[in-house]
Structure 1
Amino acid sequence: MFVSYKWLSEYVNLGGMPAKELAEKITRSGIEVEGIEVLGEGVKGVVIGHVLEKEKHLNADKLNVCQVDIGEEEPVQIICGAPNVDKDQKVAVAKVGAVLPGNFKIKKAKLRGEASNGMICSLQELGIESKLVAKEYAEGIFVFPNDVTPGEDALAQLNLDDEVLELGLTPNRSDALSMLGVAYEVAAILDTDVKLPNIEFEEAGERAEDWIKVSIEAKEDNPIYIARVVKNVKIGPSPLWMQTRLIAEGIRPHNNVVDITNYVLLEYGQPLHAFDYDRLGTKEIVVRRAQDGETFVTLDDTERTLSSEHLLITNGKEGVALAGVMGGANSEVVEDTTNVLIESAYFDGQRVRQASKDHGLRSEASARFEKGVDPNRLQAAADRAAELMAKYAGGEVLAGSVIAGDIDLEPKVVTLTLEKLNRVLGMELQKEEVEDIFRRLQFGVKTDNDQFIVTVPTRRGDITIPEDLVEEVARLYGYDNLPTTVPEGATYPGGLTDYQKKRRAVRRFLEGAGLNQAITYTLTSEKKAKEYALETRDLIKLAMPMSEERAYLRLSILPQLLEAISYNNARQIDSLGLYEVGSVFLKEAGEQLPREEEHLAGALTGVWEENQWQGEKKAVDFFVAKGILEGLFAKLGLAERISFERAQADGMHPGRTAAVVLDGERIGLVGQVHPQKAKELDVKETYVFEVKLGPVFAAKTEGVTYEPIPRFPSITRDIALVVNADVQAGALQQIIREAGGSLLKEVHVFDVYEGEHVEAGKKSIAFSLKYFDPNKTLTDEEVVKVHDHVLEALRDQAGAELRS
């Protein structure tokens, strides 16, 4: 909700309090002021000018030479290219030396040989958004419609000397969706009165009930409907002060009748709609549910297909408005409208929200109906609109209102005891203090001993139980004034669980390795939800998804990380390493809700390491991704229990993908994204990994042990083995470790060869083995005995032969 400081001051005496101070008080009372916009900030030197003469520029077809009176001794000459500039207009002029938004300074200039001493301004040039400028001034300069004096401050006339407070309202505070609602709030804070608009107008001899009949078929959706009729209106621009207030609130002016309905909506919080009475087609309004498949053309000239879930205002034959959302093109107020029907009604919020959501039509009116309007303002809002139409559109208000249905207008009565109030707040407030707070809120209150019987105005529909009253007292008393107390009883130091410590260690390690943390959507499309899943499960669809692209819970994090890689690649960020620790959602048989499982995923692409001064550049490859995981598992104390096995997976390169195995259980995968998939995503060569964190963090690890620096030398033996081409190096390494026993401390691959010197269908893999005994120097005989046992195991279990 945007609140104009100057407009608010018409209802509440602000005592000249700065807007910043007022915002602080409102925030401390429970409604957050998210920001203050100073309209016209930084703009100076803009005055009202009177165009005395206008002639075509001799050397430019699209320029005009204007003589403009700006309240000084002599008129000034200004060159203007606006198509709508003309003689006798009152316009906004930025004088020489003026400053416009963006710190744009006006200087003397020569345009095609003619001197120009200033600039005739459009509203956009004065800092008003184009979407808020009335259509007649969307192209060209602004012309003042009212009588103004040359030389006066143009910003004051345009309300650009105002400040606008932006309120961040919670859903329960729908009462503050109007200027009067905010006025009641501010009056309570400042302990002052609210000055309500004084509605006065003369009624014509004719009665409204002779012009229109109203009937309601859907009484639950529309308990009450009020109609007023104003005849002989003259459509034209609304007063400038009204236009500028609407602009400050983010609403574009249209014409006097439409602007008045919008103005009253902002003032009272009650949405209104103005129908062209003569275009209704009948003298009847019927409110009913739409029929399935019924069509209706709204004000935006879009044909809407309705359902029985939508509430429709009709003329008894066809729809003329989608209740609470948007009017119809067939009854729109246009330039030749002379008679107007004003609608002021109470529509069910859920019904309005359904139509608004189904048709993607979000409006100021629908937002207020959804959150709830004050039924006691229906008549006042209709009367206020009628008064303004009589005053600013020259209309005649027909006598009386046509009212169909009824609604409970009685305020709620809520009781609260002083004992409960003080117990909940931890205070010792006196009865008189509490009564005073309810008085400031303009709640009726009676006291029976220590019990407060509070009559809550209908404008505060959020207050229904005693706890609501406790909150009202607390916020008006001042949260800062509530006493602070130290908790009693035993205290325990906080700390992280073992799971949390390991999760934090994972994040620190990966960030230390050069990856950046990403946080992606857990919601995705049906296609992406199935990709890269470590477990095959049925998909879980949301009951009310935001869109089809966010309709399913994910089974893997990788599709979202690849989206992020693709997004960055498209913006020329080619080298990237991302990781995410997040949840996937697994459907369990017989369970309504899915099981949430935490995974670690990463994606790497481009250059991994580059030393330009050495001309060295290393691209990401499979071993970089695998090495990151190996380092991580070593950090977690699981290096000896993790292995990598060749694997196949959809969307992954068939020869560069491995399964991550912990104690024989497959817990993840690592490898290259399939080139075809990379092409679809428009990414370069990319490597990914995803691991289940549950089994990793649950694995028991030995405590850290320290050994003294070896005093005795080690012995290294290198072996080159010839094996079948499909034998994996990891399998050979495992055999070597088991056969080497306690003396074998290290084993690693240092060469792989396939070629003309090796038999077809075979390959050579070379390993380096290190033997060591911490208690003595090993003899050749001891090493040979263990080494022969290793070779024998390799020959028996893998068919490996020493390469000659």
Structure 2
Amino acid sequence: MKISIEWLKEYFDKNLDLNDLCEKLTISGTKVETVESNKIQVTNVVTGLIEEIKPHPDAEKLVVCNVNVGDKNVQIVTGAKNMKQGDIVPVALHGAVLAGGLKIKKGKLRGVESQGMMCSEEELGIADKADGLMIMDKDTPIGVDIVEVLNTGDEIIEFEITSNRPDCLGVLGIAREIKTIYDIGMKARDTKFEVDRTQNINDILSVEVKNKNCRRYSARIIKNIKICESPKFIQNRLKNSGIKPINNIVDLTNYVMLELGQPMHAFDYDKISGKKLIVGSSKENEKFVMLDEVERELNESMICIRDDEKVLALAGVMGGKDSKVTDDTKTIVLESANFNFDIIRKTSRFLNLRTESSLRFEKNIDDNLVIDALDRFCSLVTEFSYGNVIDGTVDIVNESYKPISLNISSQYINNFLKTSISENEIIKIFTNLGMEVIQNNENFNVKIPTFRRDIFIKQDLVEEIARIYGYDKIPSLELTSVSADIGKNKRQRFIDKILNAMISLGFNQSISYSFYSPKLFDKLNIDKDSFIRNAISIKNPLGEDYSIMRTIMVPSMLDALCRNYSYSNSEVCIFEIGKTYNKDQNDNIKENNVLTIGMYGKDFDYFSIKGVVESLFEMLGISFTLERENEKFYHPGKAARIMLGKNNLGRFGSIHPYVLKNYDVDIEFFVGGIDLDKLFELYKWEKKYKQIPKYPSVGFDLSIVIDENVLVQEIEKVIKSKSGNILEKFEIFDVYKGPQIPEGKKSVSYSITFRDKCKTLNDNEVNIVVQKILEDLKNKFGAELRQ
């Protein structure tokens, strides 16, 4: 945001030094990006009186002028036509430097000596284009430096306003900061205006607000409008801030916006059909020609102001061509409103159109500015005699921000900052910032003004004291303790171990945002009452697609897999180590560290991701069992829950075909999620080593035919329970359905290794154990040994 120093100085009697002001504002948090000057950059240019004009002896289009420049007369040859004898003009003498670096030297034009050049506004750098010489007022002194005479231009400060300080998106907000920093008085703006009580706005205009995202809508009517150019100082201030002057009425709406930070709009009253304004929603694919004469297509999520027949303005962004103020306008409807900041941001992004108005509405400006802006505009209309303000104000309030109060003590502030700031100094800072303070001994009840919506907790108040008191005055303290851990702590080393393990398994790491759209829950077919939907909403989101903190990482992983699939990657194995954010029964927020695994490819199936999980847990030395997983976004027969006792460590499986259809993919995706916080607690940092076995092992392959609904986990439980202490390891090497296997059955084959630590096993001992396994499987599941 750009503001001229001259405009800011208007609020104060104190003479503000530019360098000191910029330094203090930056240190206090209102960062000054740049300071530039638009004063005319010319040298050796003075005012001169044309005393005589004669024709050039050898050129019909040239004339020879005798010009008095104060201490002497100079002869100048020119081709200009708009001057006459007795005019006062800017004269660039020999050696002068004009705008753009043009140097002037004396010389001859068609044989006649010319000792300089008479200048136009363009050559002086104060206009983009000029048709002739600059003719100055008759009372302009002769022979005076043109820079002193014109006294044009100003130093312009460009501020970087952070998103949490929309109150500083106007001159008034910056002036409040200056008042507080210097502890000086600030002049109030004139908001008095005359009212024509022969008419009332409610008799000639009706307003209906149908869209709940319009928080507040206010309007006034001004008749007998006089359309003309704005005063020079208003035009200059608008130009300094990057806004092109249009006419006095439009300029005043922009002027008040820059001053207060509240956007405004003026409608031509005679162009409003039915004399009724309706604040509602746009229609899908509705066409609308805006003030920039570009036709844009709207959608039903946008807020618009319309009459009985047409759209008049797109709320918070830009007005329409059909209702704009022109030279023929006699009566205007002056709008000042407040809209839902999220809707305006989405509208602006959708149309790829960012205006000064949308910039402010997007930052959630104070709704109490609405009436202030109307009053200020009307006072300027009265001051400049631009029209008559009709009695009455339309003011419809749907939602209003209520101020909050915070309790804090001087002891808390000083303990926090390690300072000894007096109670009087603290009260003075709060008061200068526009806060109301009620003191009870060393305790303060501080009422926060509605324009400071960035202050919620008492630590915010401490920050306000610190930045105004001066960070340079707060003592520096040495660290009272140093962490005993040098380098990474255990949790960080554990995460590194997980990362290295996944890379060693052939996976690539991916990273995604910690927030997404609530619509993704519907794509995953998650139940409406599921705890997964109990997400944390973001107050100031980038848009609906990033409006909640993620409660599970499956949607993020599916997006990554879909993106790779759209890039025609035939086989993908990726993982992400990230956080999820959940609420407990008391609405306390908990961050969870989660490992998410994603893969797809023609050679991958459920057992592929199961093998990845088993390999990871084996590397970590953590055992687990599997149970059936019933979450709806997983395939009902190809998903498992990872358990250790009653601890749920995660889940994995094939994504349900209905979900894949929602994502418009025709290949099977496999996704898993593992709770790293629980794994970290289970991980054993001390390793125990076993002696190399003295006695040989005995291998045995077991193939059984069993009902296809029986989980392999149930089979493995039986193998473990019936093998006693001679079971060393086992692994599944085949699952088969098809010819030679009865319908509804499957063949499951295991390779089992037995070993006794104390002796060599014989065949009889192994056969006894295998027989126990087969009998238990038959009794529990009707399993048969495959022949």
TM-score by length of 2: 0.58
Query: Which residue number in structure 2 is paired with residue 11 of structure 1?
Result: 11
Query: Which residue number in structure 1 is paired with residue 339 of structure 2?
Result: 347
Distance 1:474 1:348 in 2: 32
Task: Tell me the secondary structure at the aligned position of residue 224 of structure 1.
Answer: strand
Task: Tell me the secondary structure at the aligned position of residue 243 of structure 2.
Answer: coil
Seen in structure 2, the aligned counterparts of structure 1 residues 416 and 65 have a Cα distance that, compared at 3 Å, is: farther
Confirm whether residue 242 of structure 1 aligns to residue 234 of structure 2.
yes
Aligned counterparts, 1:603-642, within 5 A: none
Within the candidate set 137, 142, 163, 2:155 is matched to: 163
Once the two structures are TM-superposed, the CA of residue 182 in structure 1 deviates from its matched residue by 0.6
Query: Which residue number in structure 1 is paired with residue 191 of structure 2?
Result: 199
Within the candidate set 275, 287, 290, 2:267 is matched to: 275
Within the candidate set 103, 106, 111, 1:105 is matched to: 103
| Paired residue type of 1:10 | E
Task: Tell me the secondary structure at the aligned position of residue 121 of structure 2.
Answer: coil
Q: Deviations over 1:524-563 (max 9, x none)?
A: xxxxxxxxxxxxxxxxxx9969xxxxxx989999xxxxxx
Distance 2:53 2:318 in 1: 43
| Paired residue type of 2:426 | V
Please identify, of 144-153 and 20-29, the stretch whose mean Cα deviation from structure 2 is larger: 144-153
Confirm whether residue 359 of structure 1 aligns to residue 345 of structure 2.
no
Which stretches in structure 1 are left out of the alignment for 5+ residues? 501-520, 524-541, 546-551, 558-583, 598-804
Query: Which residue number in structure 2 is paired with residue 429 of structure 1?
Result: 421
Confirm whether residue 371 of structure 1 aligns to residue 370 of structure 2.
no
Once the two structures are TM-superposed, the CA of residue 495 in structure 1 deviates from its matched residue by 6.6
Seen in structure 2, the aligned counterparts of structure 1 residues 553 and 283 have a Cα distance that, compared at 3 Å, is: same
Task: Tell me the secondary structure at the aligned position of residue 335 of structure 2.
Answer: strand
Query: Which residue number in structure 2 is paired with residue 503 of structure 1?
Result: none
Once the two structures are TM-superposed, the CA of residue 29 in structure 1 deviates from its matched residue by 1.1
Confirm whether residue 226 of structure 1 aligns to residue 218 of structure 2.
yes
Task: Tell me the secondary structure at the aligned position of residue 22 of structure 1.
Answer: helix
Task: Tell me the secondary structure at the aligned position of residue 214 of structure 2.
Answer: coil
Please identify, of 182-191 and 393-402, the stretch whose mean Cα deviation from structure 2 is larger: 393-402
Seen in structure 2, the aligned counterparts of structure 1 residues 9 and 360 have a Cα distance that, compared at 3 Å, is: same
Which stretches in structure 2 are left out of the alignment for 5+ residues? 494-510, 514-542, 547-558, 565-571, 581-593, 599-787
Once the two structures are TM-superposed, the CA of residue 594 in structure 1 deviates from its matched residue by 9.8
Seen in structure 2, the aligned counterparts of structure 1 residues 41 and 50 have a Cα distance that, compared at 3 Å, is: closer
| Paired residue type of 1:372 | N
Confirm whether residue 149 of structure 1 aligns to residue 147 of structure 2.
no
Query: Which residue number in structure 2 is paired with residue 33 of structure 1?
Result: 32
Once the two structures are TM-superposed, the CA of residue 453 in structure 1 deviates from its matched residue by 0.8
Once the two structures are TM-superposed, the CA of residue 342 in structure 1 deviates from its matched residue by 1.5
Distance 2:271 2:54 in 1: 44
Distance 1:387 1:144 in 2: 34
Task: Tell me the secondary structure at the aligned position of residue 362 of structure 1.
Answer: coil
| Paired residue type of 1:239 | P
Once the two structures are TM-superposed, the CA of residue 444 in structure 1 deviates from its matched residue by 1.1
Q: Is the 8 A contact 1:46 1:92 kept in 2?
A: yes
Q: Is the 8 A contact 2:435 2:446 kept in 1?
A: yes
Percentage of matched positions with identical amino acids: 36
Task: Tell me the secondary structure at the aligned position of residue 118 of structure 1.
Answer: strand
Distance 2:190 2:381 in 1: 15
Confirm whether residue 302 of structure 1 aligns to residue 294 of structure 2.
yes
Task: Tell me the secondary structure at the aligned position of residue 422 of structure 1.
Answer: helix
Q: Deviations over 1:120-143 (max 9, x none)?
A: 2335x4456xxxx6xxx6454686
Within the candidate set 140, 165, 173, 2:165 is matched to: 173
| Paired residue type of 1:357 | R
Q: Is the 8 A contact 1:235 1:393 kept in 2?
A: no
Q: Is the 8 A contact 1:174 1:371 kept in 2?
A: yes
| Paired residue type of 1:18 | D
| Paired residue type of 2:121 | S
Distance 1:396 1:84 in 2: 39
Query: Which residue number in structure 2 is paired with residue 414 of structure 1?
Result: 406
Distance 1:383 1:14 in 2: 27
Task: Tell me the secondary structure at the aligned position of residue 461 of structure 2.
Answer: helix
Once the two structures are TM-superposed, the CA of residue 358 in structure 1 deviates from its matched residue by 1.1
Q: Is the 8 A contact 1:2 1:164 kept in 2?
A: yes
What's the RMSD between the two structures over aligned residues?
A: 4.5
Within the candidate set 485, 490, 493, 2:482 is matched to: 490
Seen in structure 2, the aligned counterparts of structure 1 residues 278 and 556 have a Cα distance that, compared at 3 Å, is: closer
Query: Which residue number in structure 2 is paired with residue 567 of structure 1?
Result: none
Query: Which residue number in structure 2 is paired with residue 758 of structure 1?
Result: none
Seen in structure 2, the aligned counterparts of structure 1 residues 116 and 257 have a Cα distance that, compared at 3 Å, is: farther
Seen in structure 2, the aligned counterparts of structure 1 residues 348 and 522 have a Cα distance that, compared at 3 Å, is: closer
Once the two structures are TM-superposed, the CA of residue 147 in structure 1 deviates from its matched residue by 8.7
Seen in structure 2, the aligned counterparts of structure 1 residues 86 and 179 have a Cα distance that, compared at 3 Å, is: farther
Seen in structure 2, the aligned counterparts of structure 1 residues 437 and 329 have a Cα distance that, compared at 3 Å, is: same
Q: Deviations over 1:498-534 (max 9, x none)?
A: x99xxxxxxxxxxxxxxxxxxxx999xxxxxxxxxxx
Query: Which residue number in structure 2 is paired with residue 580 of structure 1?
Result: none
Distance 2:438 2:464 in 1: 17
| Paired residue type of 2:36 | E
Seen in structure 2, the aligned counterparts of structure 1 residues 556 and 403 have a Cα distance that, compared at 3 Å, is: closer
Seen in structure 2, the aligned counterparts of structure 1 residues 183 and 590 have a Cα distance that, compared at 3 Å, is: closer
Once the two structures are TM-superposed, the CA of residue 479 in structure 1 deviates from its matched residue by 0.5
Distance 1:232 1:138 in 2: 33
Distance 1:349 1:334 in 2: 30
Within the candidate set 278, 293, 296, 1:286 is matched to: 278
Seen in structure 2, the aligned counterparts of structure 1 residues 303 and 432 have a Cα distance that, compared at 3 Å, is: same
Q: Deviations over 1:761-801 (max 9, x none)?
A: xxxxxxxxxxxxxxxxxxxxxxxxxxxxxxxxxxxxxxxxx
Confirm whether residue 24 of structure 1 aligns to residue 15 of structure 2.
no
Q: Is the 8 A contact 2:11 2:186 kept in 1?
A: yes
Query: Which residue number in structure 2 is paired with residue 627 of structure 1?
Result: none
Distance 1:145 1:299 in 2: 36
Distance 1:57 1:208 in 2: 67
Query: Which residue number in structure 2 is paired with residue 748 of structure 1?
Result: none
Distance 2:93 2:107 in 1: 12
Task: Tell me the secondary structure at the aligned position of residue 371 of structure 1.
Answer: coil
Task: Tell me the secondary structure at the aligned position of residue 20 of structure 2.
Answer: helix
| Paired residue type of 2:387 | G
Distance 1:463 1:495 in 2: 37
Seen in structure 2, the aligned counterparts of structure 1 residues 78 and 63 have a Cα distance that, compared at 3 Å, is: closer
Confirm whether residue 446 of structure 1 aligns to residue 438 of structure 2.
yes
Give the length in aligned residue pairs: 520
Confirm whether residue 311 of structure 1 aligns to residue 303 of structure 2.
yes
Once the two structures are TM-superposed, the CA of residue 423 in structure 1 deviates from its matched residue by 3.3
Distance 2:318 2:437 in 1: 40
Once the two structures are TM-superposed, the CA of residue 427 in structure 1 deviates from its matched residue by 2.8
| Paired residue type of 2:363 | K
| Paired residue type of 1:26 | L
Distance 2:545 2:136 in 1: 49
Once the two structures are TM-superposed, the CA of residue 101 in structure 1 deviates from its matched residue by 4.0
Distance 1:491 1:227 in 2: 62
Distance 1:328 1:226 in 2: 19
Seen in structure 2, the aligned counterparts of structure 1 residues 119 and 188 have a Cα distance that, compared at 3 Å, is: same
Aligned counterparts, 1:104-123, within 5 A: 104-112=102-110, 115=114, 117-123=116-122
Q: Is the 8 A contact 1:295 1:303 kept in 2?
A: yes
Distance 1:407 1:54 in 2: 70
Seen in structure 2, the aligned counterparts of structure 1 residues 448 and 97 have a Cα distance that, compared at 3 Å, is: same
Seen in structure 2, the aligned counterparts of structure 1 residues 553 and 241 have a Cα distance that, compared at 3 Å, is: farther
Seen in structure 2, the aligned counterparts of structure 1 residues 20 and 217 have a Cα distance that, compared at 3 Å, is: same
Seen in structure 2, the aligned counterparts of structure 1 residues 464 and 279 have a Cα distance that, compared at 3 Å, is: same
